[in-house]
Each structure stands twice: as C-alpha cells, then as structure tokens.
Structure 1
Amino acid sequence: MLVMHHHDPEGGNNNNNSSSSSNRRSYVLETKQRAETMANSITGRMQDLQDMIDQLKLDVTQRRCRPSQAQLDHCQTEGRALEDEIERLSELTRSVKPTWKATWEAELQMVVKEQQFLKDQEALLLDLRDDHADLLHVLQQLLKISEIQARGNGKKKFVPPPSALFCGGGVEAMSNVLKQLSTIEVDHGRRVKALQQAEKMRARELANRIDDFERELSSFVESRKLKKTGGADHVDRQRQKKDQQVLRDLYQSKTQKKANNNNDTTITE
C-alpha cells in the first residue's frame, strides 16, 4: 500500500492560527454590528431632520408664516449632532478596514487551500479506482492459474486433446494465462506523479497570496531537501520482480512437467 505523507507548512501553529482567525472573525462581526447600528441611527435621525426642514420650508413658502425659533434651533443642533455621528462612523470604518481586509485575505487563502484539497482528493480517487481495477485483474488471472493447477493435479500421464486447450483447461491455457499475467503492470507511479503535479500547481496558485514571512518560511523549508532512499516506488519494483520470478518458476515447472508427461507417454506406447 502506498502511503503519502502530506507536509503541513503551518505545523504546530494550527491551534494558534485557529485562535487568531477566530479572534479576527469575532472582531469583524462585532465592529460590523456597531457600524450597522450607527448607520441605522444616523439614517433615522437624518430622515426626521429632513421631514422637519421640509415642514419649515412649507411654512415659509406656502403659508407665508415665520418658522418657530425653537424649531430652527433644534434643526441646527440636530444637524451638528448628525455631522459628529457621521464623522464617528467614518472613523470607525477607517479603523476597522485594515483588520477586515487581513481577515478576508486569510479566509480567502483557506478557501483556496480547501478547494485545491478537494480537487486533489477527486484526482486521487480516480487513480485509486484505476489501481484497484488493475489489482482485481491480476487477482482474476491468479484465480485462473489456481483453477488450472487444481484440474492438472488429478491427471497423470495425460496430454489433453486440442479441443480441451480452448475450453479453459490444459497446459496451453496455463501458458496463455501466464503470458497475460506477466504483461500486466500496475502503474503505481502514476498516482505519485499526479499528486506531485497537484502540489506544484497549488504552490503556484498561492505564491501571490502569501506574505513576506510565509515566503521566507517557504524558501527555508524548500531549501531542506530530504535524501532519496527509494521509498514506495522501490518497494513496488521489488515486489513486481518477486511476483514475476514466482510466475516464471511456475511456468518453467509446468513446462518441465509437460515434457516429462510427453516422455512417459512415448515410453508407454
């Protein structure tokens, strides 16, 4: 079984990063609620002031009456108060904008990473299905060999007629199955190449989104190359060699048995 170890560049800082991300998100939600409350209050007071000023305008233009001094003073006071509230909302917006943008960038990177992870899993599933089908095919061939061997064990000094060679039994059927089995190769390296290519694509997509610290850390990690010791590919190649050697020995054994049976038949005649 091929086991892929995925390196997490964030390492043991996952808990800290998760806590920091949660704090940033809480700050965004809290300041968003404050800004929304302030905006609604300003909007309502502005509408009330608009209605009052419209009423005073009608008194002057249509009714030809002098507006109340108290009403004028109230409008002036409310206008100055609204100006102060608008400035407070503007200051709040300016102060939270950097934190909000940093939070969005971090969350965007997380979304991109999760999307790429899903793509990698889908590609891996395709390769796993292909490998599974290849392995089942090899298993079916081995089962055919086992059945032929079981039928051959009960027969001594008997050469099957030509018609039997095409009915799923006999030495020729064994030879055909062995030839087919020896040509089957499961491409274990294809999945490894696909995952390596996906990792390279992920690195390119995120290259423009990481900050200076992450870029420096990535360069440091990439500069530490691990020594190649063979790995899973080497184990697979060794296993294939052993399987092919077993099948080759089995085929030679059957060929030798066939030759002995032919000699015994000739002597009997």
Structure 2
Amino acid sequence: MESPEVRHSKIMETEEPNVTPNKGVESVQEDGNTEEYVLLRINAKTKKAKVSLPVTFASLRLLFVEKFAYSPGAGNFPDIYIQDPRSGVSYELEEHLLPDVKSGTLLCLNETDDQNKSINELNLRLDDLTKKIDTMGSTIIAQVKDSVASVEIPVPTVAASASAVTAKSGNANEANKIGRKDITNLERDFRAIKQLHNSSSENFKETISNITEQLRKFQEIGLEVSQNSNRAYMESCNSKLSDDSDSLITKVDDLQDIMEEMRKDVAQRGVRVSDKQLKHILKDINLAKKSLHDMTLYISKERPVWKKIWEAELDKVCEEQQFLNLQDDLIQDLQDDIKKIEETYNLIEQCSIEQIKGASSKRNKIVANLYIPEPGESLHDLKDAVLNDIVGLTPNHESRLEAIERAEKLREKERDMMKLTKFQEELGDFVEDKKLKRSGGIEEIEKQRQLRDIENLKSSFGGI
C-alpha cells in the first residue's frame, strides 16, 4: 500500500498541468481588454480620448478638434505640451518627441483664455475709438481756428477831420457788409459742423455702449465654443440663405412675368411703354442684381467658416455641401434669368424709342392691325370657325389661375407707380441721394425760432 504522502504528491502532479493553462488564458483576456488612451486638456477642461500609437501631430490636432469642437480661427494651430509623469512639468511636444506619447499621457493645448483674449480685443477697439474721437475733435478745432483767422473784419479808423470821414464812409460800409457776410457764412458753417459733430458723437456713444454691453455679457457667460453653438450658427446661416434665395427667386419670377407681358404688349398689341414704367422696371432689375451680388458675397464669406465647422461635424458635411452646391447652381440660373430679363428690357426700350420717333396717326396703326379677309372669305364663316375652336378648347384652370395672379401683381405694381407724381418721384430721388443742404438740424431751427420769439417780445414790450 502507498503512504499518504506519496498519494498526495501524485494528486498534485496530475492537477498542476490543468492549472497552468487557465492562468495563461486569463492573462490573454486581460491584455485584450486594455485600450490605449490619452488625456486632452484645454484651459480648465480635460477629456479622455482613444488613440492608436504611435501618434502624429495631425491625429493629435484632430483629436482636439473632435473632442472640444476647437477651431484655431485665422491663426496657426497652437503648440501642444506634454506633461512629464515624474516631475509633473509640461514641455513642448516636438517631432522627435512623439514616441514619448504613451497610453495615459496628458497633452495640453497652449491656448490663451477666450474670455481674456476677447476682453483684450475689446479694449483695443475702445482705444482705437478714443484715438479717432480725439483726432476728429482736434481736426475740427483746427479747421474752425483757420476759418476764424482767415476772416478779416476791418475796423474803421477815426479821421482827423470830418471831410476825411465822409470820404471813407462808403468804403467802410462796403467793408462792413463784406465782413458781416463772411461772419454769416461762418455761422452757417459752424451750424453744419455742430450738426455733424452731434451725429458723430451719438454714433460713437452708441458704438461704445454696444461694446460695453458685449464686454459685460462676455464677462458673465464667458466665451465657450461648443457643438451646439456651431450648429445654431449653421442653422441661422442656412435659414438666412434660404430666405434670401426665396425672396430673390420671387423677384426674378415677377420680373420675368412683367417682361413677358410687356413684350406681348409691344410686339403684338403695339402698345408704347411709358418712361415711368421703364424707369421703375430698371430700378427693380438693379435691386435684383444687388440682391444677387450680396448673396454671392455672403456665400463666399461664409464658405471658409462652414468648412471649419464641417471638420467638427463630419456627419452633416455631405448634406450642407450639397445645399451650398445647389445655391451655386441657383445663382448661375438666376444670373442667366437676369441676363435674359435685361435683354428683353433693352429690346422693349428700343421699341419704345422707335415708336416715339416714328409716331404717326393712330388711324394708320389701327388700320395696320386690322384683319383683312381674303377674297371669297365670309365673316360669318370665320365667326363659326372661331366658335368651333372655342368649343373644342380644354381649359387648364391652374394656368388660368397663375395668369390671373401674374396680372394682379402687374396691376398692383402699376397702381404703386401711378400713386406717385413726377414731383414726388424727383423729391424721393433727391432725398435718397442725400442732396439736401445741411442747415444745422432741427435743434438749430428750434434755437433760431426761440431767438426770434425773444426778439419779438423785446420789441413788443420794450417800452413797458
């Protein structure tokens, strides 16, 4: 029989081969569950991001952009700093130090605080505005001093004899008249300068108050660029661009309808278009061209901003790029439509000029437009043929409704044009072009009225 020690040793020998493979499987499973990551930090925010080693500068920058929705703006991408795990000191990460980035490494972006940067920019703008105000004030004072110095008011000298005084009195009166005229001109210039100074001061005060309000808001809420703010900005841009394109399409469609109706009037009915209509249509064409130009400038300005936001929102890049391409195609189509409208307008204008030049009697025009039947044709047969054609027609109600809407729009524009007289149009153009002479504003007029009232009261009750 075997002893207990021998039996126990045999049992241990049989169990040891089964225990060793299980430990190897557990270690393999633990190695498979580990993942490589780095810690990213901007200012006071720290986030964890998965990474595949070895890393590059491009992949690290993309991680900062994806995790923090970070955008460097117009400048270069800030430097990336790595923290030494032993000493805790951060140093700049360079190209030859990229192997130091391992799992669990802390990477910091050397980015200045957005709030402090915005406050510094606003302070710089305030300093520039203060310098401009000081420069403008000194310039106005210098101009006023030069104007006052250029005016010479002659002082009549006391003559030794009465005959000399009477001889020079005429020249002195003439010089006094010239001096008073110069003083009156100076007063008028002073009033205009005062009006300009008041308007400029109000604009500067409003600008400074707006900047102060923005500074207060920045100090309260801070400047934090997030994914939601980018999305809200994109949605506002999309809505603005959609509204502008819809309004521009409506304008161009209305102009096309008007051009078609006027072309029929000129070509088929022989109607002469008035100068007022031509002027009004040309104004609408210029407005459409200006709106199209503004829309093109807006797209060219917003395209780089959209591209930066697309880097942080990769899931909607295709949709928004397609929207922008559609807008580009729409701009091209609208340019072609406006070009055709201008060609039609030029033809109508030439027809109107020729009609004015070769205007003869209305009788000749009416006779030229009358239908003369062929020999052997009967008017009764023609009437029956026309009635048969009318019976055979299949009316399209949708096209009729569209034609009625176009006619209503055309009549509404004509009513708007007929409301204004020639004098009102000239006055409106005069005011829009800012050709009115500056007289000092309503404050100066009120001041002169008060002075006249005081003088009238003094003259009326001066003897009491």
> TM-score band (shorter)?
0.3 to 0.5
Q: Choose between structure 1 and 2: higher helix proportion.
A: 1
- TM-score w.r.t. the length of structure 1 is 0.37
User: So what's the TM-score if we normalise by structure 2?
Assistant: 0.22
Larger RCO: 1 or 2 (CA < 8 Å, sep 6+): 1
